[in-house]
Structure 1
Amino acid sequence: MQVTDNRKQITVGVFILLGLVIFVLGVFTLGSQRKAFVKSFTVNAVFSDIQGLKAGNNVWFSGVKIGTIKKIQFYGISQVQVFMNIEEDAHKYIHKNASASISSDGLIGNKIVVISGGSPKFPFVEDGDQLQVANTLSTDDIMKTFQVNNKNLVDVTSDFKVLAKNLVEGKGTAGALLADEKIANNFKAIVENLKTTTESANRMAAEMNTFTKTLNTKGGLADKLMTDTAVFAKLQQSVNELQKTAASASAMTENLNKATAKFNQTDNAVGLLINDQQTADRIKGIMKNLETSSQKLDENMEALQHNFLLRGFFKKKAKAEAAAAAPQK
């Protein structure tokens, strides 16, 4: 009977001991998860909306858990102050200009606080410092943005539906192009003409390029004109001579103009002959009289040759002229 009681006591003691071991292990396990036994310091941040953040949620830095939310309390009129326990090991990475923002642990996970390190130009944070807050879009803001985008998408879809209907019915320029075969053919012809024009322009550009290369050929006229000073000097001299010739021709033309201008005037012999009909008639009469006198003189000379007094004289003269004209032997 006594042995049985001792066994019961031993059994109860063993269960109590196991329970204590399990309890202690649980305490240390939870404490290690929440890092309750790690040396830490406290910082805080004031948010306008903590989006469901709770005490005990994690604090992250560069994707690494460095602490937990210690306490949450109201601050001012409508803000919330969040106190965070941060591991001492992370102290050397967080500067006074670091910022805190609220995010999610995964797509639909618990809310967390994310801390950015700040600039190395600033000193490290100290226990009790307040971090500045970086504003981020909340889930509600994202949903509102989605709603606006959905509404815009519905509007665009409606407009596209109307546009497609007009295109099918042949309304508007685009609809006419799709529905009217004649307009489509005309548009196609315009495109073909534009293509031909473009090809011609390309050919012209290629020919121009070839021509310019020819101008740059060593020893050519254009090359000599641009590079040989002697050829350029001769060309310039020729141009000067041409200018002088042109000036002389201009002077001669001016003199001819002055001379022909006098033909229309009556203060000179030529102009009087050309413009005065009475003078012209007198000169004609004089010329006619001279012609008549010449004929009469010829008749008188012929009569003198047949006169018996002068006949011997004219015969001697004719013989002398014949002798002079005869070839000498």
Structure 2
Amino acid sequence: MQVTDTRRKVTVGVFVFLGLLIFVLGIFTLGSQKKTFVKSFTVDVVFNDIQGLKAGNNVWFSGVKIGTIRKIQFFGTSQVQVFLNIEEEAHKYIHKDATATISSDGLIGNKIIVVTGGSPKFPFVEDGDRLKASNALSTDDIMKTFQVNNKNLVDVTSDFKILAKNLVEGKGAAGALLADQQIADNFKAIVQNLKVTTESANKMAVDLNAFTRKMNSKGGLADKMLTDTLVFSQLQASVNELKKTASSAAAMTENLNKASSKLTQSDNAAGMLLNDQKTAEQIKAIMQNLEGSSKKLDQNMEALQHNFLLRGFFKKKAKAEAEAAKATEKQ
């Protein structure tokens, strides 16, 4: 009986010892996870909205857990002050201009605080300092943005549905183009004409390019005009001669204009003949008198040919002329 009681006490003692051991190990395990037994320092951040942040949530730096949230309390009129316990090992990476942002551990995970290191030109943060709060998009803001985008997507889908219906029914220019065969044929003809025009333009460009190459070829006219000083001097001399000719023609034209202007005046002989009626009548009378005198002279010559004194002279002259004509015909 005594042995049984002793064995029972030993068994109970073993179980109590194992329970205490498990309890102590659990405390140390939880303490290591919560950084309870790690030397740390405290900083605080003031947020306008902590978005469901709780004491005990983690603090991250560059993807590494460096501490936990120790306490949360109200600050001022409507802000919230969050106290952070940060490991002493992270002290040499965090500067006084560092910022703290509320984020989440995954898409729908626990809320966390992400700390940035700041600029190296500032000193390191100290116990009791306050970090700057950086506002980031919350899950609610993201969901609101999704809702707005969904609404816009529904509106776009509705408009596209109406547009597709109009296209199928042949409404509008695009619908008519798709539904009306005549318009489609006309459009096809326009495209074909544009193709032909483009080909013609390309051919013209090729011909023009070939022409310019010929113009610039060695020994060509353009090359001689640009490089041969003799050809250029000859061309310049020809231009000067053309200028002289043009000047002479201009002077001749001016003289003709002066002469023609004098023909319209009555202060000279030619102008008087053309413009004075009395002088014109006198000249006409003189011409008539000359015509009458020439007729009378012909009659007198005819009478002299029949005069017996001069008849022999005229016969000899006629005979000599006949003989000269026969000699010319024989030759």
TM class by smaller structure: 0.7 to 0.9
Report the equivalent of 2:123: 123
> By how many angstroms is 1:110 displaced?
0.6
The letter of the residue matching 2:211 is F
SS in structure 1 opposite 2:65? Answer: strand
Using the alignment, how far apart are the partners of 1:39 and 1:180 within structure 2? 82
Residue pair 1:272, 1:279 contacting (<8 A) in 2 also = no
RMSD: 2.8
Distance 1:261 1:294 in 2: 41
The offset of 1:55, in angstroms, is 0.9
> Aligned ranges for residues 222-233 of structure 1 at < 5 Å?
222-233=222-233
1:22-101 maps to which residues of 2 (within 5 A)? 22-101=22-101
Partner of 2:173: 173
Residues 65 and 297 (structure 1 numbering): CA distance in 2 closer, same or farther, change over 3 Å?
A: farther
Q: Secondary structure at the match of 1:219?
A: coil
Unaligned runs of 5+ in 1: none
Unaligned segments of structure 2, at least 5 residues: none
2:80 is paired with a residue of what secondary structure? Answer: strand
Match of 1:307 among 300, 306, 309: 309
Counterpart amino acid of residue 295 in structure 2: T
- How much does 1:60 deviate? 0.8
Shift of 1:307: 2.0
Secondary structure at the counterpart of residue 136 of structure 1: coil
Q: Which residue of 1 aligns with 2:284?
A: 281
Count of residues in correspondence between the two structures: 317
For residues 106-146 of structure 1, the C-alpha deviation after alignment (integer angstroms, 9 at most, x for no partner) is: 11111110111122222221111111111111111111111
CA deviation map 1:73-110 (0-9, x unaligned): 11111111111111122112111111111111011111
1:274–1:280: 8 Å Cα contact kept in structure 2? no
Give aligned-pair identity as a percent. Answer: 69
In the other structure, the counterpart of 1:198 is 198
Matches of 2:249 and 2:293, distance apart in 1: 42
| Distance across 1 between alignment mates of 2:293 and 2:83 | 148
1:151 paired with 2:151, answer yes
Cα 1:226–1:122 shift into 2, 3 Å: farther
> In structure 2, the residue corresponding to 1:45 is in which secondary structure?
strand
SS in 2 for 1:8: helix
Mapped contact 1:273–1:279 kept (Cα < 8 A): no
1:119–1:211 CA distance, 2 compared to 1 (3 A):
farther
Using structure 1 for the length normalisation, give the TM-score: 0.86
Question: After the TM superposition, which of the residue ranges 5-14 and 129-138 deviates more from structure 2?
Answer: 5-14
- The SS at the match of 1:146 is helix
CA gap of 1:302–1:271, structure 2 versus 1, over 3 A, is: farther
Contact 1:69 1:85 in 2 (8 A): yes
Cα 1:291–1:271, aligned 2, differ >3 Å: closer, same or farther? farther
Secondary structure of the residue aligned to 2:232 is helix
Residue 209 of structure 2 corresponds to residue 214 of structure 1: no
* Structure 2 Cα separation of the partners of residues 294 and 257 of structure 1: 43
Q: Which residue of 2 aligns with 1:291?
A: 294
Q: What is residue 15 of structure 2 aligned with on the other side?
A: 15
| Whole-angstrom distance in 1 between the partners of 2:15 and 2:155 | 71
Q: Compute the displacement of 1:303 (Å).
A: 6.0
In the TM superposition, what is the alpha-carbon distance from 1:266 to its structure 2 partner?
4.8
**Over residues 37-88 of structure 1, what are the superposed CA-to-partner deviations in whole Å (9 max), with x where a residue is unaligned?**
2221111111111111111111111111111111111111111111111112
- Return the offset for 1:270: 4.2
- Alignment CA distance shift 1:197-1:112 (3 Å): same
8 Å contact from structure 1 (residues 103, 111) kept in 2: yes
